[in-house]
Amino acid sequence: MAALGRFTLLLALAFALYGFVATLVARRRGDERLRVSGRRAAYAVLLAAVVANAVMLVAILSDDFSVAYVAENSSRATPGFFKVLSLWSADEGSLLLWNLILSGYVAAVAFRWRHRAEEELPATLAILFGVAAFYLVLVLGPTAPFAGLSPVPADGNGPLPLLQNHPLMAVHPPFLYLGYIGFTVPFAFALGAVLSGTASDRWLVTTKRWALVAWWFLTIGLLLGALWSYGVLGWGGYWAWDPVENGALLPWLMATAFIHSAMLQDRRGMLRVWNASLAVGTFVLVTFGSFITRGSILSSIHAFSRSLVGPMYLGLLMVTIVLGFGAIAFRASKMRSRGRIDSALSREAFFVGNNLVLVALTAIVLAGTVFPLIVEAVAGRKVSIGAPFFRQTTAPALSLLLFFLGAGPLLPWRRGRWARVRGAAVAPVAAATITFAALAAGGVRNVAALVGFALAAFALVANAGVVVRKLRGHVSGRPRKARAALGALARDRRAYGALVIHMGLAVLATGVIWSSSFATERQVTLAEGDTAELGGRTITYEGLDRREEEHRTVLVARATVREDGATGVVHPSLNLYPNAREPVGTPSIRYGAFQDFYSSLIGIEDGGTTATFRFLVNPGVTWIWAGGAVMVLAGLACLMPGAKPVPRPSPRPSLEAA
């Protein structure tokens, strides 16, 4: 199995290198047969990547411990479901999955444009083949997922306990990778167009859908990661601002800016250099995120030189920065924008403001992530930047973003009239004012939270109002209004989807502000029968149960929760895995529309007669999942192709016209 896996990866690398050379030579010579041959190499790379992943999966499911990766990340006692997940539970296997998804994107691009021959397409395919070759070299060299093991052990170590503690690991990494890797396509098209010297905007029209697909996948991956952190790790939160999380957030922020500013280039011919820079910058941040998480620098900056993975990622990062931004700077004179902002009171101006805020957020998160690494590299000492720094620095930017999110859709393109804008803004401003006043009267004294809630209400009502006005315009005067409304939604689903995404983000922001500002926590040690109070609840520890499972031992603490005459039960647990030094906790959460009651088991003493708990009352967390779900569903609507306009029948020509 190990030999077969290595052979298929070598085959994939050979096809990727052939595709890289063939597409460039075909462009230079104008050789159509060679161009087709180079394009078909993408399908061969995908087939080889599929076989390599299938070989590893078969080795895992058959307990083939002669493959070192299988011995290190699976075991005979591991349930089949978690055996499948171990395919991406460690660095080597996850890079196999990375190669599979990347080759899938390359093949999809080759197939989508199989009948077209734009001038920038050969350079685009060559860039995609080059990136694919880099990741294939990575799995054939320093990571080596198919390395053999001798003597062959009787059993393996099993997956990391944390990765087999919840089924969300079945979907979180694949969705994250689908989004993360998908940004390679807009990068390749942007850089291909710049290197080809074309002054057209074809690359942008081509890649808008690809960027939105990657953004949609990454949005799902980030939400699932937050849900996994909240429901599995047991610390009570959903976002810790650690470098791994930030590494995924950074390209999402920049891609969001790109998707918005691409509309300006598409409609007005504006921001051409800016958009190319955002497309390149998004891929640079993807490479940077991979570098800090896979380059052995999170544990220690001095461990960087112990493996070739770090230097190889650093090399890719430097090449991407120099080649990408250098090419844009060299061609900038040919990429001058045709349009300009006609008025500060216009949608274009607010889109630019939205972009600047998103880029500022990216810079803040990037600075907070990189600073500890720089200090350790230069001064040789460890420093940490925690959640308080990110909350304080990103809160003003988030407030501005909510303002632009609500004000932008109220404004017309080119130039707006204040009287008209003022009429459209009455309801959103009233909603913000009422929200601020009502919460202040209700006893909320956190000014930052009050402003955040008010701006979220402003954005939500503003976008909802635009949806209502658009629908009214479509159904006005029509007898069958329901059918007309559905038809309007189907025809203009992307515009409606974007507005609903804004509404979902406003709801999500409300949940973030609420939960981060008003959560309460208590850690307490209870003997059986003892009680504790938190947030109007009385919690009584009832005892400890022990449950033996195939791959672990589960210690479950039972506690009764009484609130307003109602009684419920929470059952946080500690999971003991054979090869783990410490137990892994699983929290118990009583979800509510307005607040969650969160309990986790910290430790046990005296055989379970005494237990230490962490109890939290987390308000607004459900609003985060609800807002995220709205964004995902609305994003799916944006991805669906719009209805083609029905052509009007031409009048029958007269004899004289004939």
| Average pLDDT of the segment spanning 351-374 | 91
The mean pLDDT value of the chain amounts to 87
The string of pLDDT tens digits covering residues 30-60 is: 788 888 898 899 999 999 999 999 999 999 9
Residue 300: pLDDT above 50? no
> Is 648 in a helix, a strand, or coil?
coil
More confident residue, 313 or 412: 313
- pLDDT, residue 22, reads 93
Distance linking the first and last C-alpha atoms of the chain: 74
Give the chain's largest Cα–Cα span: 104
Order of strands, sheet of 520-527, starting from the edge strand that comes earlier in the sequence: 520-527, 610-619, 595-605, 588-590
- pLDDT, residue 318, reads 94
Tell how far CA 522 is from the center of its chain.
Answer: 32
Q: What is each CA distance from 414 to 356, 370, 493, in whole angstroms?
A: 19, 39, 23
Q: Write out the H or E segment, with its range, that includes residue 140.
A: helix 121-140
More confident residue, 564 or 435: 435
| Average pLDDT of the segment spanning 526-551 | 91
d(CA 434, CA 108): 50
Assess contact for 157 and 72: CB atoms under 8 A. Answer: yes
- pLDDT, residue 646, reads 41
d(CA 276, CA 258): 9
Q: How many CB atoms lie within 10 A of CB 431?
A: 21
Quick one: which of 504, 514, 419, 490 has its CA closest to 459?
504
Cα-only R_g, the chain: 28
SS (H, E, C) 465-477: HHHHHHHHHHHCC
d(CA 62, CA 56): 10
**How many residues are there in the chain?**
658
Q: How many CB atoms lie within 10 A of CB 426?
A: 10
d(CA 235, CA 404): 34
Burial 468-505 (b: 16+ CB within 10 A, else e): eebbeebbeeeeeeeebbeebbeeebbbbbbbbbbbbb
The single residue listed with the structure tokens 């938190």 is 534
Residue 142: pLDDT above 50? yes
The string of pLDDT tens digits covering residues 487-520 is: 666 677 888 889 999 999 999 999 999 999 999 9
Residue 478: pLDDT above 70? no
- pLDDT, residue 490, reads 64
d(CA 529, CA 544): 12
Q: What is each CA distance from 126 to 49, 168, 189, in whole angstroms?
A: 18, 36, 10
pLDDT bracket for residue 302 (50, 70, 90): very low
Assess contact for 313 and 291: CB atoms under 8 A. Answer: yes
- pLDDT, residue 652, reads 42
Highest mean pLDDT: which range of 297-301, 385-389, 479-483: 385-389
Burial 33-48 (b: 16+ CB within 10 A, else e): ebbeebbbbbbbbbbb
The string of pLDDT tens digits covering residues 618-649 is: 999 999 999 999 999 999 988 886 544 444 44
Residue 199 neighbours by CB under 8 Å, 6+ apart: 334, 335
More confident residue, 267 or 229: 229
| Average pLDDT of the segment spanning 163-188 | 90
Residue 93: pLDDT above 80? yes
- pLDDT, residue 305, reads 43
